Amino acid sequence: MKRQNGFLLGLIVLLIVLPLWLVPAPVAGPDGEVPEAFAGADGKAEALILEIAPDYQPWFEPFFEPPGGEFESLLFALQAALGAGFIGFWLGGAMMRERLKKQSDPTRAD
């Protein structure tokens, strides 16, 4: 049993590490700059706005400026996980309510 657990643990580690090892590093673009690995559409939109209207002034400044693109990705992933958890909790509660209603009233026709 111990040997099987070790094999499964090794397989799990391999399945986690292998895709990360196979992902190529970002290469320099035509302008010679290496793109940020987790850059999103916000930076591209900002660059396009400054190209169209160089004297544009933003209406407000952000309260908190994250230290890098990876941190922004972390916040986005955390927001998505919390949202999915909330939806899953609500859906599970709704299904459980229906199941309990059916159990408490067996004459109910659905």
The string over 82-98, giving b where at least 16 C-beta atoms fall within 10 Å of a residue's C-beta and e elsewhere, is: eeeeeeeeeeeeeeeee
Lowest mean pLDDT among 17-21, 22-26, 61-65, 80-84: 22-26
Is the model's pLDDT at 110 over the cut of 60? no
Average pLDDT over residues 67-81: 85
pLDDT value at 6 more than 90: no
pLDDT reading at 92 higher than 90: yes
pLDDT tens-place string over residues 48-57: 898 999 898 8
Contact between 28 and 22 (Cβ < 8 Å): no
Checking phi first, is residue 12 left (phi over 0); if not, alpha (psi -120 to 50) or beta? alpha
pTM beyond 0.85: the answer is no
